[in-house]
């Protein structure tokens, strides 16, 4: 994966963790066309070649904003055709994030408004700074969430709460987001990245094939009846039985040592 991006910074931690930082702090890390293309590239590349990565984290530069949403200065004066063309990029971007084969964690360091809230909601789970704020403000601009917001928020907080938040455009705090089920954990701003890296490290230390299969079983199973979901789970489980990692996990337990998983 290349590293010479304009609007994001991509780095590796402890070999198996990918850190993606939204890097337009002068405009509150607002999502422009270039950022959409670069995020799309990163997450579509992961679907092709994981490069031995096991967990991805997305966060924002600075302590004020995770992502303030779409760059309205760039959008000012756009033709309808240009607007639709840009949005196709954002659609493909969020689909790639939601389809990320490895766990995707959001470390929300500040304001996550509009498309920024949608990026966070597209992750597998969220850790947030106590100073973070969330909002889906699209209706105040005469549009609506179009990068998964109506789907991912409703699945996280429930239909009635999602309707209240999306139809009003009202902001809400990190603690409210935690109480409602959007955020998993709220920490002090100075501890956010370290705390997120710690849980990412714990996930990365587990069997990578097992993690990927379990993620798919949870996500896809929730779109099915419980019986179809159970069948999907069993199929995912059976694919792990013949792996080297399964044998290594049991052997390491019996030898009272830490397993060395190789993802095969």
pLDDT digits (tens, 9 = 90+) for 24-38: 999 999 999 999 999
pLDDT digits (tens, 9 = 90+) for 10-27: 999 988 999 999 999 999
- pLDDT-derived band of residue 3, with 50, 70 and 90 as boundaries? confident
Query: Which residue in the list 41, 44, 118, 248 is annotated as catalytic?
Result: 118
Active site residue 138: yes
The pLDDT value recorded for residue 156 is: 97
The pLDDT value recorded for residue 67 is: 98
The pLDDT value recorded for residue 215 is: 95
The pLDDT value recorded for residue 119 is: 98
Proportion of the chain above pLDDT 90, given as a percent: 94
The pLDDT value recorded for residue 2 is: 86
Please name each of the domains of the chain with its CATH number: 8-204 (3.90.226.10), 208-254 (1.10.12.10)
Active site residue 118: yes
The pLDDT value recorded for residue 37 is: 98
The pLDDT value recorded for residue 1 is: 82
Work out the average pLDDT over 182-208. Answer: 97
- pLDDT-derived band of residue 242, with 50, 70 and 90 as boundaries? very high
pLDDT digits (tens, 9 = 90+) for 118-127: 999 999 999 9
Query: Which residue in the list 38, 74, 138, 235 is annotated as catalytic?
Result: 138
The pLDDT value recorded for residue 165 is: 98
Best CA proximity match to 107, nearest among 203, 18, 196, 30: 196
How high is the mean pLDDT of the chain?
96
């Amino acid at each position: 994966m290349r590293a010479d991006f304009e609007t994001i910074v991509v780095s590796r931690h402890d070999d198996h963790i990918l850190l993606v930082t939204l890097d337009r702090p002068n405009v509150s890390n607002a999502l422009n066309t270039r950022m959409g293309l670069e995020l799309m590239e990163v997450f579509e590349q992961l679907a092709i070649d994981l490069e031995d990565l096991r967990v991805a984290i997305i966060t924002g530069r600075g302590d004020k904003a995770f992502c303030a949403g779409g760059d309205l200065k760039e959008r000012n004066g756009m033709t309808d055709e240009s607007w639709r063309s840009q949005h196709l990029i954002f659609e493909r971007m969020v689909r790639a994030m939601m389809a990320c084969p490895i766990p995707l964690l959001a470390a929300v360091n500040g304001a996550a408004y509009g498309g920024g809230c949608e990026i966070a909601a597209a992750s597998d789970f969220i850790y947030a700074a106590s100073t973070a704020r969330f909002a889906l403000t699209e209706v105040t601009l005469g549009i609506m969430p179009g990068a998964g917001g109506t789907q991912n928020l409703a699945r996280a907080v429930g239909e009635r709460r999602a309707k209240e938040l999306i139809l009003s455009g009202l902001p809400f705090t990190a603690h409210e987001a935690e109480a409602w089920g959007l955020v998993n954990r709220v920490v002090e701003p100075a501890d956010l990245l370290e705390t997120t890296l710690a849980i990412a490290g714990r996930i990365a230390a587990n069997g990578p094939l097992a993690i990927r299969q379990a993620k798919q079983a949870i996500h896809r199973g929730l779109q099915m009846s419980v019986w179809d979901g159970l069948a999907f789970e069993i199929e995912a489980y059976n694919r792990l039985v013949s792996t080297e990692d399964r044998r290594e996990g049991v052997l390491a337990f019996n030898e009272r040592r830490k397993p060395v998983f190789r993802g095969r």
